[in-house]
Chain A
Protein backbone atom coordinates (compact mmCIF):
# COMPACT_ATOMS: atom_id res chain seq x y z
CA UNK A 1 0.00 0.00 0.00
CA UNK A 2 1.28 3.44 -0.92
CA UNK A 3 1.35 5.69 2.13
CA UNK A 4 3.31 8.43 3.82
CA UNK A 5 6.67 6.54 3.86
CA UNK A 6 6.82 6.59 0.05
CA UNK A 7 6.08 10.33 0.03
CA UNK A 8 8.75 10.97 2.68
CA UNK A 9 11.30 9.12 0.56
CA UNK A 10 10.34 11.20 -2.47
CA UNK A 11 10.57 14.43 -0.45
CA UNK A 12 13.94 13.35 0.97
CA UNK A 13 15.27 12.76 -2.54
CA UNK A 14 13.99 16.18 -3.68
CA UNK A 15 15.66 17.95 -0.72
CA UNK A 16 18.83 15.91 -1.30
CA UNK A 17 18.90 17.01 -4.94
CA UNK A 18 18.91 20.64 -3.77
CA UNK A 19 21.93 19.90 -1.55
CA UNK A 20 23.75 18.53 -4.60
CA UNK A 21 22.68 21.49 -6.78
CA UNK A 22 23.96 23.90 -4.11
CA UNK A 23 27.31 22.09 -3.88
CA UNK A 24 27.70 22.24 -7.67
CA UNK A 25 26.99 26.00 -7.75
CA UNK A 26 30.46 27.55 -7.47
CA UNK A 27 29.07 31.10 -7.32
CA UNK A 28 26.91 30.33 -4.29
CA UNK A 29 27.81 32.66 -1.40
CA UNK A 30 26.64 30.19 1.28
CA UNK A 31 27.61 27.05 -0.60
CA UNK A 32 28.51 24.79 2.32
CA UNK A 33 25.88 26.19 4.69
CA UNK A 34 23.17 25.80 2.06
CA UNK A 35 24.23 22.28 1.11
CA UNK A 36 24.27 21.27 4.81
CA UNK A 37 20.80 22.77 5.32
CA UNK A 38 19.18 20.84 2.46
CA UNK A 39 21.28 17.76 3.25
CA UNK A 40 20.12 17.66 6.88
CA UNK A 41 16.52 18.09 5.78
CA UNK A 42 16.99 15.17 3.38
CA UNK A 43 18.45 13.05 6.22
CA UNK A 44 15.41 13.87 8.37
CA UNK A 45 13.08 12.59 5.65
CA UNK A 46 15.13 9.59 4.51
CA UNK A 47 16.58 8.35 7.80
CA UNK A 48 14.69 10.19 10.57
CA UNK A 49 13.13 6.91 11.76
CA UNK A 50 16.57 5.64 12.74
CA UNK A 51 17.66 8.81 14.57
CA UNK A 52 15.39 8.53 17.59
CA UNK A 53 13.66 11.44 19.33
CA UNK A 54 16.85 13.05 20.65
CA UNK A 55 18.62 12.60 17.33
CA UNK A 56 15.76 14.28 15.49
CA UNK A 57 15.71 17.05 18.10
CA UNK A 58 19.44 17.73 17.67
CA UNK A 59 19.03 17.68 13.89
CA UNK A 60 16.25 20.24 14.21
CA UNK A 61 18.37 22.51 16.42
CA UNK A 62 21.21 22.23 13.90
CA UNK A 63 18.85 23.20 11.06
CA UNK A 64 17.73 26.28 12.98
CA UNK A 65 21.34 27.19 13.80
CA UNK A 66 22.29 26.92 10.10
CA UNK A 67 19.30 29.12 9.18
CA UNK A 68 20.41 31.76 11.70
CA UNK A 69 23.87 31.70 10.10
CA UNK A 70 22.32 32.50 6.72
CA UNK A 71 21.39 29.15 5.22
CA UNK A 72 20.13 28.29 2.66
CA UNK A 73 21.28 31.54 0.98
CA UNK A 74 20.83 32.33 -2.69
CA UNK A 75 22.92 31.07 -5.54
CA UNK A 76 22.96 31.20 -9.32
CA UNK A 77 20.53 28.44 -10.22
CA UNK A 78 20.71 27.72 -13.95
CA UNK A 79 17.40 28.85 -15.40
CA UNK A 80 16.17 30.49 -18.60
CA UNK A 81 16.57 34.21 -19.38
CA UNK A 82 13.59 36.51 -19.93
CA UNK A 83 14.34 36.46 -23.68
CA UNK A 84 14.29 32.65 -23.74
CA UNK A 85 11.02 32.63 -21.82
CA UNK A 86 9.40 35.08 -24.23
CA UNK A 87 10.59 32.92 -27.15
CA UNK A 88 9.01 29.89 -25.48
CA UNK A 89 5.80 31.89 -24.97
CA UNK A 90 5.75 32.85 -28.67
CA UNK A 91 6.21 29.20 -29.65
CA UNK A 92 3.82 27.48 -27.21
CA UNK A 93 1.27 30.19 -26.34
CA UNK A 94 -1.71 29.09 -24.28
CA UNK A 95 -0.58 25.44 -24.40
CA UNK A 96 1.75 26.41 -21.54
CA UNK A 97 -1.31 26.42 -19.27
CA UNK A 98 -1.94 22.69 -19.86
CA UNK A 99 0.84 21.34 -17.58
CA UNK A 100 -0.45 23.67 -14.86
CA UNK A 101 -3.70 21.68 -14.95
CA UNK A 102 -2.00 18.31 -14.37
CA UNK A 103 -1.48 18.61 -10.61
CA UNK A 104 -5.02 19.89 -9.89
CA UNK A 105 -6.40 17.27 -12.29
CA UNK A 106 -4.56 14.39 -10.60
CA UNK A 107 -5.57 15.71 -7.15
CA UNK A 108 -9.19 15.75 -8.32
CA UNK A 109 -9.04 12.32 -9.96
CA UNK A 110 -7.19 10.77 -7.02
CA UNK A 111 -9.78 12.02 -4.53
CA UNK A 112 -12.48 10.12 -6.40
CA UNK A 113 -10.61 7.11 -7.82
CA UNK A 114 -8.26 5.99 -5.01
CA UNK A 115 -11.09 5.22 -2.54
CA UNK A 116 -12.54 2.85 -5.20
CA UNK A 117 -9.30 0.82 -5.28
CA UNK A 118 -8.92 -0.48 -1.72
CA UNK A 119 -5.44 -1.57 -0.72
CA UNK A 120 -3.63 0.59 -3.26
CA UNK A 121 -3.38 3.88 -1.38
CA UNK A 122 -3.60 4.64 2.34
CA UNK A 123 -7.18 6.03 2.56
CA UNK A 124 -6.14 8.64 5.17
CA UNK A 125 -3.47 10.12 2.88
CA UNK A 126 -5.29 10.28 -0.46
CA UNK A 127 -4.83 14.04 -0.88
CA UNK A 128 -1.10 14.16 -0.20
CA UNK A 129 -0.42 11.08 -2.30
CA UNK A 130 -2.43 12.51 -5.20
CA UNK A 131 -0.33 15.66 -4.88
CA UNK A 132 2.91 13.65 -5.02
CA UNK A 133 1.67 11.61 -7.96
CA UNK A 134 0.55 14.78 -9.76
CA UNK A 135 4.01 16.30 -9.23
CA UNK A 136 5.71 13.20 -10.69
CA UNK A 137 3.39 13.08 -13.73
CA UNK A 138 3.67 16.82 -14.39
CA UNK A 139 7.49 16.64 -14.17
CA UNK A 140 7.58 13.74 -16.64
CA UNK A 141 5.26 15.49 -19.09
CA UNK A 142 7.23 18.74 -18.94
CA UNK A 143 10.54 16.92 -19.42
CA UNK A 144 9.28 14.94 -22.43
CA UNK A 145 7.51 17.91 -24.02
CA UNK A 146 9.99 20.77 -23.55
CA UNK A 147 13.20 18.71 -23.30
CA UNK A 148 15.04 20.96 -20.82
CA UNK A 149 18.42 19.75 -19.48
CA UNK A 150 18.07 16.71 -17.20
CA UNK A 151 19.25 18.71 -14.20
CA UNK A 152 16.47 21.31 -14.75
CA UNK A 153 13.96 19.92 -12.17
CA UNK A 154 16.69 19.94 -9.51
CA UNK A 155 17.94 23.43 -10.43
CA UNK A 156 14.47 24.97 -10.79
CA UNK A 157 13.30 23.42 -7.53
CA UNK A 158 16.33 24.81 -5.75
CA UNK A 159 15.77 28.26 -7.27
CA UNK A 160 12.23 28.41 -5.83
CA UNK A 161 13.28 26.82 -2.53
CA UNK A 162 16.03 29.42 -2.08
CA UNK A 163 13.39 32.08 -2.75
CA UNK A 164 11.38 30.77 0.19
CA UNK A 165 14.55 30.29 2.25
CA UNK A 166 14.52 29.26 5.91
CA UNK A 167 10.73 29.79 6.00
CA UNK A 168 10.55 26.34 4.33
CA UNK A 169 10.87 24.55 7.67
CA UNK A 170 8.79 27.04 9.70
CA UNK A 171 5.38 25.34 9.21
CA UNK A 172 6.73 21.96 10.33
CA UNK A 173 8.52 23.57 13.27
CA UNK A 174 5.35 25.41 14.31
CA UNK A 175 3.40 22.16 14.21
CA UNK A 176 6.04 20.76 16.57
CA UNK A 177 5.65 23.72 18.92
CA UNK A 178 1.93 22.93 19.03
CA UNK A 179 2.79 19.40 20.17
CA UNK A 180 5.12 20.77 22.85
CA UNK A 181 2.42 23.15 24.11
CA UNK A 182 0.18 20.10 24.49
CA UNK A 183 2.85 18.26 26.49
CA UNK A 184 3.28 21.35 28.70
CA UNK A 185 -0.50 21.59 29.27
CA UNK A 186 -0.84 25.13 27.87
CA UNK A 187 -4.37 24.44 26.62
CA UNK A 188 -5.67 23.31 30.01
CA UNK A 189 -4.27 26.40 31.74
CA UNK A 190 -5.85 28.77 29.21
CA UNK A 191 -9.11 26.80 29.45
CA UNK A 192 -9.05 27.19 33.23
CA UNK A 193 -8.30 30.93 33.08
CA UNK A 194 -10.69 31.85 30.25
CA UNK A 195 -14.01 31.60 32.17
CA UNK A 196 -12.70 34.14 34.71
CA UNK A 197 -12.87 36.81 31.98
CA UNK A 198 -16.67 36.66 31.80
CA UNK A 199 -18.96 38.82 33.91
CA UNK A 200 -21.83 36.83 35.48
CA UNK A 201 -25.07 36.48 33.54
CA UNK A 202 -24.33 38.63 30.48
CA UNK A 203 -25.05 36.71 27.29
CA UNK A 204 -23.32 39.16 24.94
CA UNK A 205 -20.21 39.31 27.16
CA UNK A 206 -20.07 35.52 27.24
CA UNK A 207 -20.36 35.28 23.44
CA UNK A 208 -17.69 37.98 23.03
CA UNK A 209 -15.36 36.19 25.45
CA UNK A 210 -15.81 32.96 23.48
CA UNK A 211 -15.23 34.37 19.97
CA UNK A 212 -12.44 36.70 21.14
CA UNK A 213 -10.85 33.77 22.95
CA UNK A 214 -11.07 31.65 19.81
CA UNK A 215 -9.49 34.39 17.68
CA UNK A 216 -6.75 35.38 20.14
CA UNK A 217 -5.76 31.83 21.07
CA UNK A 218 -5.72 30.96 17.36
CA UNK A 219 -3.43 33.92 16.66
CA UNK A 220 -1.06 32.68 19.38
CA UNK A 221 -1.14 29.04 18.28
CA UNK A 222 -1.41 29.72 14.54
CA UNK A 223 -4.14 27.11 14.26
CA UNK A 224 -7.86 27.16 15.07
CA UNK A 225 -7.78 23.40 15.64
CA UNK A 226 -5.58 23.92 18.68
CA UNK A 227 -7.77 26.71 20.02
CA UNK A 228 -11.12 24.98 19.54
CA UNK A 229 -10.96 22.26 22.23
CA UNK A 230 -9.55 24.78 24.71
CA UNK A 231 -12.14 27.52 24.20
CA UNK A 232 -15.06 25.16 23.59
CA UNK A 233 -14.11 23.27 26.77
CA UNK A 234 -13.43 26.45 28.74
CA UNK A 235 -16.30 28.73 27.68
CA UNK A 236 -18.35 27.36 24.77
CA UNK A 237 -19.71 24.22 26.38
CA UNK A 238 -19.89 25.12 30.11
CA UNK A 239 -21.03 28.76 29.75
CA UNK A 240 -22.76 29.21 26.39
CA UNK A 241 -24.34 25.78 25.90
CA UNK A 242 -24.92 24.36 29.41
CA UNK A 243 -25.17 27.68 31.28
CA UNK A 244 -27.12 29.86 28.87
CA UNK A 245 -28.86 27.16 26.83
CA UNK A 246 -27.17 27.93 23.50
CA UNK A 247 -27.38 25.59 20.52
CA UNK A 248 -24.15 23.51 20.49
CA UNK A 249 -24.29 23.25 16.69
CA UNK A 250 -24.22 27.01 16.14
CA UNK A 251 -21.72 27.65 18.93
CA UNK A 252 -19.36 24.95 17.64
CA UNK A 253 -19.61 25.56 13.91
CA UNK A 254 -19.49 29.36 14.00
CA UNK A 255 -16.99 29.40 16.88
CA UNK A 256 -14.54 27.48 14.70
CA UNK A 257 -15.01 30.10 11.95
CA UNK A 258 -14.28 32.87 14.46
CA UNK A 259 -11.01 31.04 15.04
CA UNK A 260 -10.30 31.04 11.29
CA UNK A 261 -10.44 34.86 11.43
CA UNK A 262 -7.56 34.62 13.90
CA UNK A 263 -5.60 32.43 11.47
CA UNK A 264 -5.76 35.26 8.91
CA UNK A 265 -4.01 37.52 11.46
CA UNK A 266 -1.38 35.13 12.79
CA UNK A 267 2.31 35.09 11.83
CA UNK A 268 2.28 31.65 13.48
CA UNK A 269 0.09 30.40 10.61
CA UNK A 270 3.24 30.38 8.50
CA UNK A 271 1.89 28.23 5.67
CA UNK A 272 -0.83 30.75 4.90
CA UNK A 273 0.74 34.05 5.88
CA UNK A 274 4.56 33.97 5.97
CA UNK A 275 5.46 31.42 3.26
CA UNK A 276 3.36 33.15 0.53
CA UNK A 277 5.09 36.46 1.26
CA UNK A 278 8.39 34.67 0.66
CA UNK A 279 7.08 32.84 -2.44
CA UNK A 280 5.99 36.15 -3.98
CA UNK A 281 9.27 37.91 -3.06
CA UNK A 282 7.46 40.50 -0.94
CA UNK A 283 9.93 42.56 1.13
CA UNK A 284 7.50 42.82 4.07
CA UNK A 285 7.19 39.48 5.87
CA UNK A 286 3.74 40.52 7.16
CA UNK A 287 2.42 41.85 3.80
CA UNK A 288 -0.22 39.11 3.46
CA UNK A 289 -1.49 39.68 7.01
CA UNK A 290 -1.69 43.42 6.26
CA UNK A 291 -3.82 42.64 3.19
CA UNK A 292 -6.08 40.36 5.24
CA UNK A 293 -6.74 42.14 8.50
CA UNK A 294 -9.82 44.20 7.53
CA UNK A 295 -11.51 41.08 6.12
CA UNK A 296 -10.60 39.13 9.25
CA UNK A 297 -11.94 41.76 11.67
CA UNK A 298 -15.24 42.24 9.80
CA UNK A 299 -15.83 38.49 9.53
CA UNK A 300 -15.02 38.04 13.22
CA UNK A 301 -17.71 40.62 14.05
CA UNK A 302 -20.10 38.78 11.73
CA UNK A 303 -19.42 35.43 13.40
CA UNK A 304 -19.85 36.94 16.86
CA UNK A 305 -23.19 38.41 15.79
CA UNK A 306 -24.23 35.04 14.32
CA UNK A 307 -23.72 33.21 17.61
CA UNK A 308 -25.34 36.02 19.60
CA UNK A 309 -28.35 36.18 17.27
CA UNK A 310 -28.94 32.53 16.34
CA UNK A 311 -27.58 30.28 19.10
CA UNK A 312 -30.20 31.28 21.67
CA UNK A 313 -33.51 30.97 19.81
Chain B
Protein backbone atom coordinates (compact mmCIF):
# COMPACT_ATOMS: atom_id res chain seq x y z
CA UNK B 1 0.00 0.00 0.00
CA UNK B 2 1.57 3.26 -1.10
CA UNK B 3 0.97 6.33 1.02
CA UNK B 4 -1.38 8.91 -0.41
CA UNK B 5 0.33 12.21 -1.28
CA UNK B 6 -1.07 15.48 0.08
CA UNK B 7 -4.00 16.50 -2.11
CA UNK B 8 -3.85 20.25 -1.38
CA UNK B 9 -1.88 21.14 -4.55
CA UNK B 10 -4.95 19.93 -6.50
CA UNK B 11 -6.90 22.97 -5.18
CA UNK B 12 -5.96 24.79 -8.38
CA UNK B 13 -7.65 22.18 -10.54
CA UNK B 14 -10.82 22.39 -8.42
CA UNK B 15 -10.77 26.20 -8.78
CA UNK B 16 -10.40 25.89 -12.56
CA UNK B 17 -13.31 23.45 -12.86
CA UNK B 18 -15.61 25.50 -10.63
CA UNK B 19 -14.52 28.82 -12.15
CA UNK B 20 -15.18 27.74 -15.72
CA UNK B 21 -18.49 26.11 -14.73
CA UNK B 22 -19.60 29.41 -13.16
CA UNK B 23 -18.39 31.27 -16.26
CA UNK B 24 -16.27 33.60 -14.17
CA UNK B 25 -13.68 35.68 -16.03
CA UNK B 26 -11.03 33.13 -17.08
CA UNK B 27 -8.13 35.47 -16.24
CA UNK B 28 -9.35 35.71 -12.64
CA UNK B 29 -9.94 31.94 -12.52
CA UNK B 30 -6.42 31.19 -13.69
CA UNK B 31 -4.82 33.56 -11.19
CA UNK B 32 -6.95 32.12 -8.38
CA UNK B 33 -6.01 28.58 -9.46
CA UNK B 34 -2.32 29.48 -9.45
CA UNK B 35 -2.62 30.75 -5.87
CA UNK B 36 -4.74 27.72 -4.88
CA UNK B 37 -2.18 25.19 -6.08
CA UNK B 38 0.82 27.26 -5.05
CA UNK B 39 -0.38 27.86 -1.47
CA UNK B 40 -1.64 24.26 -1.34
CA UNK B 41 1.88 23.07 -2.11
CA UNK B 42 3.27 25.17 0.73
CA UNK B 43 4.53 28.20 -1.20
CA UNK B 44 4.12 31.67 0.31
CA UNK B 45 2.18 34.43 -1.46
CA UNK B 46 5.34 36.26 -2.66
CA UNK B 47 6.70 32.93 -3.90
CA UNK B 48 3.55 32.30 -5.95
CA UNK B 49 3.73 35.82 -7.43
CA UNK B 50 7.36 35.29 -8.38
CA UNK B 51 6.72 31.84 -9.85
CA UNK B 52 3.82 33.21 -11.91
CA UNK B 53 5.90 36.16 -13.08
CA UNK B 54 8.81 33.95 -14.06
CA UNK B 55 6.54 31.61 -16.04
CA UNK B 56 4.65 34.50 -17.68
CA UNK B 57 7.95 36.01 -18.76
CA UNK B 58 9.29 32.70 -20.10
CA UNK B 59 6.08 32.03 -22.03
CA UNK B 60 6.09 35.30 -23.99
CA UNK B 61 6.51 33.36 -27.22
CA UNK B 62 2.87 32.22 -26.83
CA UNK B 63 1.72 35.81 -27.50
CA UNK B 64 4.12 36.52 -30.38
CA UNK B 65 1.62 35.50 -33.14
CA UNK B 66 -0.46 38.60 -32.23
CA UNK B 67 2.04 40.63 -34.26
CA UNK B 68 0.12 39.43 -37.35
CA UNK B 69 -2.99 41.42 -36.35
CA UNK B 70 -1.93 44.68 -38.08
CA UNK B 71 -1.47 42.78 -41.36
CA UNK B 72 -4.85 41.06 -41.08
CA UNK B 73 -6.44 44.44 -40.29
CA UNK B 74 -4.77 46.09 -43.30
CA UNK B 75 -6.11 43.37 -45.58
CA UNK B 76 -9.59 43.69 -44.10
CA UNK B 77 -9.40 47.44 -44.58
CA UNK B 78 -8.89 46.86 -48.32
CA UNK B 79 -11.97 44.61 -48.48
CA UNK B 80 -10.50 41.10 -48.27
CA UNK B 81 -13.52 39.72 -46.38
CA UNK B 82 -15.92 41.31 -48.86
CA UNK B 83 -13.96 39.93 -51.83
CA UNK B 84 -13.87 36.44 -50.27
CA UNK B 85 -17.63 36.59 -49.70
CA UNK B 86 -18.33 37.91 -53.23
CA UNK B 87 -16.26 35.15 -54.80
CA UNK B 88 -18.22 32.48 -52.94
CA UNK B 89 -21.61 34.13 -53.58
CA UNK B 90 -20.88 33.81 -57.33
CA UNK B 91 -19.65 30.22 -57.13
CA UNK B 92 -22.81 28.15 -56.67
CA UNK B 93 -20.94 24.86 -56.32
CA UNK B 94 -19.08 26.21 -53.28
CA UNK B 95 -21.47 25.23 -50.50
CA UNK B 96 -20.70 25.72 -46.81
CA UNK B 97 -20.10 21.99 -46.38
CA UNK B 98 -17.79 21.70 -49.37
CA UNK B 99 -15.71 24.77 -48.45
CA UNK B 100 -15.14 23.47 -44.94
CA UNK B 101 -14.49 19.93 -46.17
CA UNK B 102 -11.81 21.14 -48.59
CA UNK B 103 -10.28 23.33 -45.88
CA UNK B 104 -10.26 20.40 -43.43
CA UNK B 105 -8.41 18.22 -45.95
CA UNK B 106 -6.00 21.04 -46.82
CA UNK B 107 -5.24 21.68 -43.13
CA UNK B 108 -4.70 17.99 -42.36
CA UNK B 109 -2.39 17.42 -45.33
CA UNK B 110 -0.30 20.57 -44.83
CA UNK B 111 -0.05 19.88 -41.09
CA UNK B 112 1.10 16.33 -41.89
CA UNK B 113 3.91 17.92 -43.92
CA UNK B 114 4.89 20.05 -40.91
CA UNK B 115 3.35 23.28 -42.26
CA UNK B 116 1.25 24.10 -39.21
CA UNK B 117 1.87 27.86 -39.39
CA UNK B 118 0.61 28.50 -42.91
CA UNK B 119 -2.98 28.80 -41.67
CA UNK B 120 -4.70 29.64 -38.41
CA UNK B 121 -7.57 31.44 -36.72
CA UNK B 122 -6.10 34.93 -37.19
CA UNK B 123 -4.36 34.34 -40.54
CA UNK B 124 -7.00 32.38 -42.47
CA UNK B 125 -10.21 31.68 -40.51
CA UNK B 126 -11.16 35.27 -39.68
CA UNK B 127 -10.19 37.00 -42.98
CA UNK B 128 -11.02 34.19 -45.45
CA UNK B 129 -12.70 31.01 -44.26
CA UNK B 130 -15.40 32.50 -42.00
CA UNK B 131 -16.60 35.13 -44.55
CA UNK B 132 -16.59 32.49 -47.30
CA UNK B 133 -18.66 29.97 -45.36
CA UNK B 134 -20.97 32.70 -44.12
CA UNK B 135 -21.50 33.95 -47.70
CA UNK B 136 -22.23 30.44 -48.92
CA UNK B 137 -24.71 29.90 -46.09
CA UNK B 138 -26.44 33.21 -46.87
CA UNK B 139 -26.66 32.39 -50.57
CA UNK B 140 -28.13 28.94 -49.98
CA UNK B 141 -30.44 30.04 -47.17
CA UNK B 142 -31.41 33.72 -47.47
CA UNK B 143 -33.56 33.41 -44.34
CA UNK B 144 -30.57 32.46 -42.15
CA UNK B 145 -30.68 33.88 -38.61
CA UNK B 146 -27.80 35.51 -36.74
CA UNK B 147 -27.66 32.35 -34.63
CA UNK B 148 -27.30 30.30 -37.82
CA UNK B 149 -24.45 32.52 -39.02
CA UNK B 150 -22.67 32.17 -35.70
CA UNK B 151 -22.97 28.37 -35.86
CA UNK B 152 -21.42 28.34 -39.34
CA UNK B 153 -18.55 30.58 -38.21
CA UNK B 154 -17.94 28.43 -35.12
CA UNK B 155 -17.81 25.37 -37.37
CA UNK B 156 -15.17 27.10 -39.51
CA UNK B 157 -12.97 27.57 -36.43
CA UNK B 158 -13.68 23.99 -35.32
CA UNK B 159 -12.61 22.63 -38.70
CA UNK B 160 -9.28 24.45 -38.42
CA UNK B 161 -8.68 22.86 -35.00
CA UNK B 162 -9.66 19.35 -36.06
CA UNK B 163 -7.52 19.64 -39.20
CA UNK B 164 -4.36 20.72 -37.41
CA UNK B 165 -4.73 18.40 -34.38
CA UNK B 166 -5.26 15.26 -36.42
CA UNK B 167 -2.77 16.08 -39.15
CA UNK B 168 0.31 17.33 -37.32
CA UNK B 169 1.15 14.06 -35.57
CA UNK B 170 1.88 12.42 -38.93
CA UNK B 171 4.84 14.80 -39.25
CA UNK B 172 8.00 13.28 -37.78
CA UNK B 173 9.52 16.32 -36.12
CA UNK B 174 6.43 17.74 -34.40
CA UNK B 175 6.73 18.45 -30.67
CA UNK B 176 4.22 15.81 -29.58
CA UNK B 177 6.02 12.99 -31.42
CA UNK B 178 9.33 14.08 -29.91
CA UNK B 179 7.71 14.18 -26.47
CA UNK B 180 6.44 10.59 -26.80
CA UNK B 181 9.83 9.43 -28.09
CA UNK B 182 11.63 11.22 -25.28
CA UNK B 183 9.31 9.81 -22.60
CA UNK B 184 9.67 6.22 -23.82
CA UNK B 185 13.43 6.69 -24.14
CA UNK B 186 13.71 7.78 -20.51
CA UNK B 187 11.94 4.51 -19.62
CA UNK B 188 14.50 2.56 -21.65
CA UNK B 189 12.25 1.93 -24.66
CA UNK B 190 13.83 3.13 -27.92
CA UNK B 191 11.35 3.93 -30.72
CA UNK B 192 11.81 5.80 -33.99
CA UNK B 193 9.63 8.86 -34.78
CA UNK B 194 8.43 7.12 -37.94
CA UNK B 195 6.95 4.22 -35.95
CA UNK B 196 4.96 6.71 -33.87
CA UNK B 197 3.81 8.93 -36.72
CA UNK B 198 2.51 5.92 -38.71
CA UNK B 199 0.08 5.27 -35.86
CA UNK B 200 -1.31 8.79 -36.26
CA UNK B 201 -2.59 7.96 -39.75
CA UNK B 202 -5.67 5.85 -38.81
CA UNK B 203 -6.92 8.58 -36.45
CA UNK B 204 -6.23 11.23 -39.12
CA UNK B 205 -8.43 9.31 -41.57
CA UNK B 206 -11.08 8.80 -38.90
CA UNK B 207 -11.02 12.54 -38.12
CA UNK B 208 -11.59 13.37 -41.79
CA UNK B 209 -14.45 10.84 -41.95
CA UNK B 210 -16.11 11.88 -38.67
CA UNK B 211 -15.75 15.64 -38.93
CA UNK B 212 -16.23 15.60 -42.72
CA UNK B 213 -19.42 13.59 -42.25
CA UNK B 214 -20.68 16.16 -39.77
CA UNK B 215 -19.83 18.95 -42.23
CA UNK B 216 -21.76 17.22 -45.03
CA UNK B 217 -24.81 16.82 -42.78
CA UNK B 218 -24.68 20.48 -41.75
CA UNK B 219 -27.64 22.53 -43.01
CA UNK B 220 -26.97 26.27 -43.28
Contacts and interface: CB of A to CB of B under 8 A. Distances in A.
A and B co-occur in one complex? yes
Interface of A: 4, 7-8, 10-11, 14-15, 41, 44-45, 48-49, 51-61, 64, 67-68, 79-80, 82, 85-86, 88-89, 92-94, 96-97, 99-100, 103-104, 107-108, 111, 125, 127-128, 130-132, 134-135, 138-139, 142-143, 146, 148, 152-157, 159-161, 166-181, 183-186, 188-190, 192-193, 220, 224-225, 228-229, 232-233, 237, 241, 248-250, 252-254, 256-257, 260, 263-264, 267-268, 270-277, 279-280, 282-285, 287-288, 290-292, 294-295, 298-299, 302-303, 306
A248 B77 CA distance: 52
A253 B180 contact: yes
Given A179-B51, A184-B43, A249-B191, A295 B157 contact: no
B220 interface: no
Interface string B1-35: 01011110110110011001001011110110110
A184 B38 contact: yes
Contact of A173 (B37, B56, B176, B183): B56
A220 B77 contact: no
Contacts of B166: 257, 260, 299
Given A14-B67, A274-B26, A287-B150, A56 B56 contact: yes
Contacts of B102: none
Contacts of B160: 276
A99 B196 contact: no
**Size bin of chain B's contact surface:** 35 or more
A161 B27 contact: no
A254 B166 CA distance: 11
B183 A229 contact: yes
B82 A103 contact: no
